[in-house]
Amino acid sequence: MAHLFEPLTLRGVTFPNRIGVSPMCQYSAEDGLANDWHLVHLGGRAVGGAGLIIAEAAAVAPEGRITPADLGLWNDEQIDPLARINAFIHSQGSVAGIQLAHAGRKAATALPWITQTGTLSEADGGWQPVAPSPLAFADGYATPAELDEAAITSLVRSFADAAQRALEAGFKTIEIHAAHGYLLHEFLSPISNQRTDRYGGSFDNRTRLLKEVVGAVRSVWPERLPLLTRVSATDWVADGWHAEETVLLARELKALGVDLLDCSSGGNLASAQIPVGPGYQTPFAEQVRRGSGLASAAVGLITDPAQADQIVRNGQADMVLLARELLRDPYWPMHAAQALGRATSWPVQYLRAAPHGSTVRQPLAD
């Protein structure tokens, strides 16, 4: 029976445990470039012992940013700052990953700690968002421009180009972002996709773009390295994207070379009523895992070590991803191991603080 601190191998990469840092936007980049904040933020979670560190959503095109301060991988200048961070993450024994994303109709918004909501004007640093259909996300958001097929083809290429840059930066896994109401999710959901061409209407058509992106990324991403995808398993409304479609999609993504589905939910409808509570999205990860045979990750209000351990032990997911809890406590994995009576390694620099019986982690060459 697997447990939280048992290694997980996907293709040629072994994660030292089943704890992952969920991608969390820091809104601290300039021109898409990572900086010292990202080094400390991501590096601190590697020091803390998480097996997988997924850097925040990196836009594959400038217009795909959520805010003007988003991370990016749309040009070669953005490679080296990320390579520096990855070298440190790998020296701590963790695996570095990055989420590739396009914000779609939710692009060009203000930083979240600024009170303004909705789309920024061009005078305030905004730009014209794009989407599958000209439907605004909510009041205050601009009506997006509908992507034509030429623009869609270019977008698919942008994901593949960003994946190539991720490889050059030393990432060992990629996550394609198709959740939370951003562009690829917008194509999946009939709420935001009202197209009548081959990218809209039927399940096959609405999933076409994501599958093309997966195929393009997999064509440049080495076979030895795993590929992840994040989805919103449901829109939480009757006429939206739903969990049964997610399972069908998981089967198709598995055949295309996706190795794990990161199961989140919501984000595509501002008025959706979401029953938030501890582990509220875990059933989706279990449904995907059992219904498709694809490995899954659970995310969403997972805070307690015993809770996380039981998700893995019960076969509900192969990995748990933590977000806010790892903001509050970067050393949660080491504290969880102690609480669960599991051995874990502490950095040699922290030896004097390690519990009795802990092993010591020597820095590794990348």
Active site (catalytic) residues: 182
Positive or negative, the CA dihedral 188, 193, 198, 201 is positive
What does the alpha-carbon distance between residue 109 and residue 88 come to, in Å, rounded to a whole number?
32
Select from 48, 130, 46, 153 the least CA-distant residue to 91: 46
DSSP letters, 82-133, are: HHHHHHHHHHTT-EEEEEEE--GGG-SB--TTSS--SBPPGGGT----EESS
For Cα atoms 255, 257, 261, give the angle at the middle one, nearest 5 degrees.
Answer: 90
Helices (H) and strands (E) in the chain — how many of each? 11, 15
**Long-range contacts formed by 290-295: CB under 8 A, 24+ apart:** 290/315, 291/247, 291/250, 291/251, 292/247, 292/250, 292/251, 292/254, 292/261, 293/251, 293/254, 294/250, 294/251, 294/253, 294/254, 294/258, 294/259, 294/260, 294/261, 295/10, 295/259, 295/260, 295/261, 295/319
Positive or negative, the CA dihedral 313, 316, 322, 325 is negative
- Conformational region of residue 122, where left means phi above 0, alpha means psi within -120 to 50, and beta covers everything else: alpha
Question: Residue 339 is encoded by which pair of tokens?
Answer: 């609480």
Select from 238, 293, 236, 288 the least CA-distant residue to 263: 288
Q: Which residues pair with 153 in a beta bridge?
A: none
What does the alpha-carbon distance between residue 86 and residue 65 come to, in Å, rounded to a whole number?
22
Question: Residue 190 is encoded by which pair of tokens?
Answer: 């009939």
What does the alpha-carbon distance between residue 183 and residue 20 come to, in Å, rounded to a whole number?
24
